[in-house]
Structure 1
Amino acid sequence: MNDISTAANPASLPIAIIGAGPVGLAAAAQFIQRGLPVAIFEASASVGGNLQNYRHVRLFSPWQYNIDPSAAALLAGTGWLRPDAADLPTAGELVDDYLLPLSRLPAIDAKLRLNSRVLAVSRLGFDKVKTRGREAAPFVLRVAGPAGESEIQARAVIDASGTWSQPNPLGAHGLPALGEHAFAERIDYGMPDVLGEQRGRYAGIKVLVVGAGHSAIGNLINLATLAEQEEQTRIVWALRGHELGKLFGGGENDGLAARGALGQRLRQLLERGRLELHQGFQVHSIGELNGGMRVMPLDAGLAPIDGIDRIIAATGARPDLSLTAELRTRHDAWLESTELLAPLIDPNEHSCGTVRPHGHRELAHPEPGFYAIGAKSYGRAPNFLMATGYEQARSVAAALAGDLAAADEVRLELPQTGVCSSRPAGAAKAAAAPCCGTSAAVAAAPSRCGPAAARASCCG
């Protein structure tokens, strides 16, 4: 790779990929198939660093949607045993049975730098303000690796670093709740291993789960399983909204059966009184009361939640935008996603689980040659699916290779959630047809839709 001391011709430089998770390695496979050089930087000691943090979690998407076609093509003929398409892997199995074999292929292994965190990206000799000659300058990446900091040049940059390592705080304002830092040792973020390595933290105590997404539901189900074995375990659930129907999901109408089953299991737990539910509860502060935690709501008309021993914050994640502060990027003002992508994924308006196929045009920034793909491209929106990231990688790779015809094609069909509005689950089937139709119908529709159309309806 090129040292910063010598400016190279950008055309001779590799395409830098930040993050060696599923989408980052899919991008690498796409570029390798097109004969383009790559350099892959992973902050962790292993590929799939974010997935390693929740190895115990079983994904609701089967292998069918979890393997990138270009990556599978590279693995073909190497002795790799492709998992059964219908099986549901854990995050750990996704790493062990797919990402690790992919990363060990000579074409990828030689270009992969582990324990190498990209600290910042800029243009060689250009700050954010300077314009003339900017597009001809290589990118420069500041990288912290085992031997210290270095600077690497690249012809283009793909940011597939994800958002999992940047969890949202508990507070109602998007800020940490008062006392959240003080009680940090009693708070876990994301999906702790409640039934495995971290069982001792949760058995026989009163646990508060805050959040309303699939991570929150998974935590509640795991805690309920623990409570069946440890009778003193009590579960409290706080969510900011009041609508439960959408959280229960589409049940049997969901194109991903395991995703539909999560909502059905949640409904059963509530109906059986296994969860203490607090709706419309926005966390304002955390204090101590008689050795436990008192969690105060923003709404003074609601009662506090007392006697909490431990909190799981399953409140989503947000992108780290400081990485590209010296690049000319354009993000949506509230989702922090790529600006043109926001209308297709806005969770305030877009209640359908299937996001319209999209590619390099929606992912582009004013800085030519820079793209964020994967969960990072969605910003704070929680409705990202891995298969969407693979399609993004394919489209961007084709665009950077100059194959715009392929870049603009739609090669993605996503499974429906069975829920296309905030109606209760019982009404989901009736709502599905006019809102989303079938997944085949969505895939066959035009691949691009403007902001007005997308914000006005479920799927554009």
Structure 2
Amino acid sequence: MSDLPVLVVGAGPQGLAAAAHLLERGLEPIVLERCDAAGSAVAEWGHVRLFSAWPELVDAAAARLLASTGWHSPAHAHPTGAEWVRDYLQPLADALGRHVRYGSEVTSITRRGRDKVVESGRAQQPFVVRVRATDGVETRIEARAVIDASGTWSTPAPAGADGVPAIGERAAAERISYRIPDGVDALAGRHVVVVGAGHSATHAVLRLCDLARREPTTRVTWVLRRASVGTVFGGGAADDLLERAVLGGKARRAVQTGRVALETGFRVSEIRADGDAVTVVADDGRELTDVAQVFALTGFRPDVSILSELRIALDPALEAVAGIAAEIDPNLHSCGSVGATGAAELAQPETGLFIVGAKSYGRAPTFLALTGYEQVRSVVAHLAGDEEAAARSELVLPDTGVCGGAGDFDAPTGGGCCASPALMQIVSAPAGTSA
């Protein structure tokens, strides 16, 4: 199969970086992107400013490829998602040229002539990637290996606290958003509820807080499932990412001044239609009434349906790649304290298949762009036969000082798994959604 390409799913930060490393190693990449531009998920939160500065957002092999086109890395500022796409991701995709195919949605990845059960000769058969174009036409591409960097952006978690949509959540879809808001002026003078404890929720709360400053009749309620504030306001001086620390400080002040009402231990069980608004009901009977809009920002989940006929190993709790789960568990680690997660840890029972990027972290919100770049560097080195480079760790992360687990979820005093509190970063989509 040495003449076949390496198939990369997704033209986001990790997918494009993987292609750059493959080219540099003399391997033929094909990047399949279902949308019509690079970084499409990032573009959807383009109005959000990242916590990471430019040096932490640019992959080394990608930078070398871009340098050959006359590109120069932007200054050490903190770009918005839109700027990350405009000034890095799309130029990188352009530099990769014919290796990136837009309007190409991967619908399944299998072994040629083998379903999941068949063992005989399995590893000797190429992968068959079925692709659907925007006009509906389906084709098949054979590949020697597959790097799934498709992310988790398309599968946000629900508002319901049990892990499934709350009663009435689907019916109230017009009143619920699973994205960080941009323009919020239409909500002036209304009651708005934000559900979630991560950076996406914090961003949303602060945008709505600005609206409440301009229009004081606006009510903002921030709903936390945990019984106490815990790590929500961040680690302050303990956080090496200054912008993240500033965000937590602003959120704390918004609550202290009363501009934002905080509800802890509020686990959403029902969202009930109420005229032109909804009522949000907790499992203990508490109700938030006359709610014009709910922003459910409770994290993301991996969609592995395209891998249903391949043999994969995921952690039963995190749905992360099994080999890295212990190193990224948010109950034990922050995004700055995860271990190196390279080819050996990312290897699947299906030889030649690697899940990387935010998708490799499953439900864990501890993902950083730098971690993803180290993943693809190691994976590509392995595919090129350079096992020394694949085993070497080149990952250096900014410290957060803490982890982001829920600690004692029901304890009124919080608790936690680390010595001091801190927010977890969200990027590569806010997280975590995260860079």
Q: Same fold (TM over 0.5)?
A: yes
Aligned to 1:390: 373
What's the CA shift for 1:290? 5.2
The aligned residue for residue 171 of structure 2 is: 182
CA distance in 1, matches of 2:230, 2:248: 9
**TM-fit CA distance, 1:359:** 0.4
Q: Does 1:230 align with 2:220?
A: no
In the aligned structure 2, how far is the partner of 1:243 from the partner of 1:36? 51
CA distance in 2, matches of 1:356, 1:389: 12
Match of 1:114 in 2: 102
Contact 1:260 1:417 in 2 (8 A): no
Q: Alpha-carbon deviation of 1:203?
A: 2.6
Is residue 315 of structure 2 the alignment partner of residue 315 of structure 1?
Answer: no
Hey, what does 1:36 align to over in structure 2? 27
Cα drift, residue 298 of structure 1: 1.3
What residue is the counterpart of 2:427 in the other structure?
A: none
Give the counterpart letter for 1:171 in structure 2: G
Q: TM-score scaled to structure 2, two decimals?
A: 0.91
* Structure with a larger share of its residues in helix: 1
Higher alpha-carbon deviation: 287-296 or 111-120: 287-296
In structure 1, C-alpha distance between the alignment counterparts of 2:228 and 2:279, rounded to whole Å: 25
Q: Measure, in 2, the Cα distance between the counterparts of 1:317 and 1:202.
A: 25
Residue pair 1:124, 1:140 contacting (<8 A) in 2 also = yes
After superposition, the C-alpha distances for 1:70-107 in whole angstroms (9 at most, x for unaligned) are 000001132213101x20000000000001111111xx
Q: How does 1:25-424 map to 2 (within 5 A)?
A: 25-84=16-75, 86-105=76-95, 108-147=96-135, 148-194=137-183, 199-289=184-274, 291-300=276-285, 303-350=286-333, 353-420=336-403
CA offset at residue 284 of structure 1?
Answer: 0.3
Q: Which shows bigger deviation, 215-224 or 240-249?
A: 240-249
Deviations 1:293-329 (A, max 9, x none): 11111123xx211111100010111000111000000
CA contact (8 A) 1:163 1:375 kept: yes
After superposing the two structures, state which structure 1 stretch, 291-300 or 396-405, moved more: 291-300
Q: Alignment partner of 1:24: what SS?
A: helix
1:353 CA displacement = 4.0
Answer whether contact 2:8 2:15 (CA < 8 A) is retained.
yes
State how far apart, in whole Å, the 1-side matches of 2:134 and 2:272 are. 41
How far does residue 351 in structure 1 lie from its aligned partner after superposition? Answer: 5.1
Alignment-derived partner of residue 431 in structure 2: none
Superposition deviation, residue 173 in structure 1 = 1.3
Where do 5+ consecutive residues of structure 1 fail to align? 1-9, 436-460
Give the aligned residue type for 1:281: F
Q: Deviations over 1:202-257 (max 9, x none)?
A: 23321100000010001101111122223332101111002324111111221110
CA distance in 2 between partners of 1:250 and 1:352 (Å): 13
Query: Where in structure 2 are the equivalents of 1:435-450 lying within 5 Å?
Result: none
Specify the code of the residue in structure 2 equivalent to 1:282. R
Cα RMSD, aligned residues only: 1.9
1:109-156 deviations in whole A, cap 9, x for unaligned?
111111111011000111000011100100001111135111111000
- 1:412 shift after superposition: 1.0
Secondary structure (helix, strand or coil) at the match of 1:307 reads strand
